[in-house]
Amino acid sequence: MVHCFSMSSFTLLVTSAPFSEQNAYSAYRFALAAVETKHTVEGVFFYQDGTLNGSSLQLIPSNEFDLYKAWKGLADTYNVPLMVCVSAASKRGITSPEDAAENDTEHYSLTPPFESVGLGELAVLLKNSDRLIQF
């Protein structure tokens, strides 16, 4: 008897800031559990206040969980794309080096593996996923 187990693919939509609620942390824990159990996370899309998760300028006290570092580790270890909505992020002062250069500013806070993308990328993620889960 052969058993076929279908693995699910997920897109995660994170709309909460890393420090305001537990939602962003829950999204990270879900993503980690999914990839550790051989499911696929097509990508994590950070939108609205969730774009603050991508700021490399966060200074986390040593006795607190560093969610920024955890997201980077997830991306590096499991090749999970971390996509930050460019329009929502720029309103919150989160810019990539390319976006900063295009707008004649020298400062930026979005660095790899976080990437600056448009809403169209969310549509692509949804097309390639079985499920969308919002945090």
- Half-sphere exposure of 51 toward its Cβ, with a 13 Å CA cutoff? 23
Tokens of 67: 């969610």
User: Is 4 a residue of the active site?
Assistant: no
Q: Which residues of 99-111 are buried (b: 16+ CB within 10 A; e: fewer)?
A: bbeeeeeeebbbe
Whole-angstrom CA distances from 16 to 26, 45, 109 are 10, 11, 18
Active site residue: 67, 70, 83, 85, which one? 85
CA separation for the pair 35, 78 (Å, rounded):
7
So which residues are the catalytic ones? 85
